[in-house]
């Protein structure tokens, strides 16, 4: 599998508007877009930096994965995403290597990416996503 670079870092926040201020006002970065991903029960603010981005994640519902993350651990880094050239190949290779996956098949993520999560038990507690953008 070819891992190209860190695609994004997902940060769970209570409020996109409040959290975004650090990135825009203190760091001088720009929020490129805000998108609601209904399936993930989340609103996402994209803050690009070179070929990676920070994604601020705000839950839209109390039972969403981001709301549960914040309830358990507080606001903070929720996942790390690596961009791969071919997500089907990457998933097949990980499976063949015995790596436990949350998603055996890619699903749609924010920004039109196809994404899949690896089980955090395999990654020292870090929720790792692989994603492909065409």
Q: Does 10 bind Zn ion (CB under 5 A)?
A: yes
Q: Does 53 bind Zn ion (CB under 5 A)?
A: no
Residue 98 or 111 with smaller CB distance to Zn ion? 111
In the complex, minimum distance from the CB of residue 100 to Zn ion, in angstroms, rounded to a whole number: 19
Identify the three-state secondary structure at position 50: coil
Query: Number of residues in contact with Zn ion, rule: CB under 5 A?
Result: 3
- CA–CA separation, 126 vs 79, rounded Å? 7
Tell how strand 128-132 and strand 76-84 pair up. Answer: parallel
Give the pair of three-digit tokens for residue 16: 């996109």
Contact between residue 12 and residue 79 where contact means Cβ atoms under 8 Å apart: no
Q: Which of residues 69-108 bind Zn ion (CB under 5 A)?
A: 81
| Residues making contact with Zn ion (CB under 5 A) | 10, 81, 129
């Amino acid at each position: 599998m070819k891992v190209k670079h860190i695609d994004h870092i997902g940060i769970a926040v209570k409020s996109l508007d409040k959290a975004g201020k650090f990135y825009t006002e203190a760091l001088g970065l720009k929020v490129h877009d805000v998108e609601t991903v209904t399936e993930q029960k989340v609103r996402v603010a994209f803050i690009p930096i070179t070929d990676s981005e920070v994604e601020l994640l705000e839950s839209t519902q109390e039972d969403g994965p981001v709301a549960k993350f914040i309830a358990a651990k507080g606001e903070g880094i929720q996942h790390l995403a690596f961009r791969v050239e071919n997500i089907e190949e990457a998933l097949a290779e990980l499976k063949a290597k015995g790596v436990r996956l949350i998603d055996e098949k890619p699903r749609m993520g924010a920004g039109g990416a196809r994404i899949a999560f690896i089980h955090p038990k395999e990654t020292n507690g870090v929720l790792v996503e692989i994603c492909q953008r065409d």
